[in-house]
Amino acid sequence: MRTEPNLMSPPPSAISRLDGSDGAMSSSSLEALSHSLRTTLASQTVRPHHQFSGMKVSNLTRQTVIAQNIEVADRASTRRKGLLGRNNLSAGEGLWIIPCESVHTFFMRFSIDLVYLDRALKVTKIRSNVPPWRLSACLSAHSVIELAPGTIQTTQTREGDQLEFATNDAHRGTQTPKPKP
């Protein structure tokens, strides 16, 4: 009988000290951190799946649609929460975190694709199928899009590609938001 890994507990290799030593956190400290985050996430309202909509992102260089339903995380609270608390991310969905130079997948339940963008919405870095309990950063990025795993491969998105965001609401027309300076 095969058991699924517990994604709420990090693999031992994912835990290291910030001071550069190779000592790991004590199990009681890790359990307290895990309990605190689970309690915080449980107290937050998770929006129903059908409300996950807003922006469409297209790759102008490749003439492909990367996602039809991009949620924008442009406030401290939405950037901090990110995709935490969700069970999955369906094809065509994503989260645009702006501003953002790095993300983590601690306490997440699924892998994601990452597309880092500069202020001109040009792709500066991509990471495919990033599993839970990982860190990723691009110091030259101004924002990042978190996508369902496999999206980068399916859309053939590459570094240097030019992206465009547009609203999905036909009543408001199509417009590309300008990133905040």
What is the model's pLDDT at position 31? 60
What is the model's pLDDT at position 141? 97
pLDDT band at residue 20 under the 50/70/90 scheme: very low
Give a yes or no: residue 175 inside a domain: no
Between 6 and 125, the higher pLDDT residue: 125
Nearest to 13 by CA among 5, 24, 3: 24
Between 19 and 58, the higher pLDDT residue: 58
Give a yes or no: residue 24 inside a domain: no
User: Which residues face 154 on adjacent strands?
Assistant: none
Coil, strand or helix at 150: coil
Give a yes or no: residue 146 inside a domain: yes
Residue 152 has pLDDT above 50, yes or no: yes
Total domains in the fold of the chain? 1
pLDDT band at residue 167 under the 50/70/90 scheme: confident
- Enumerate the H helices of 44-171 as residue ranges: 76-81, 151-155
* CATH code for the domain of 122: 2.60.120.1140
- Enumerate the H helices of 20-168 as residue ranges: 27-43, 76-81, 151-155
Beta strands in 74-111 (DSSP E): 93-97, 102-104
Which residues constitute the domain of residue 102? 50-167
What pLDDT digit, counting tens, does each position of 38-85 carry? 555 454 444 433 344 589 999 999 999 999 999 999 999 888 888 988
Residue 19 has pLDDT above 60, yes or no: no
Give a yes or no: residue 7 inside a domain: no
Give a yes or no: residue 73 inside a domain: yes
Residue 7 has pLDDT above 70, yes or no: no
Give a yes or no: residue 77 inside a domain: yes
What is the model's pLDDT at position 179? 53
What pLDDT digit, counting tens, does each position of 95-141 carry? 999 999 999 999 999 999 999 999 999 999 999 999 999 999 999 99
Give a yes or no: residue 147 inside a domain: yes
Give a yes or no: residue 152 inside a domain: yes
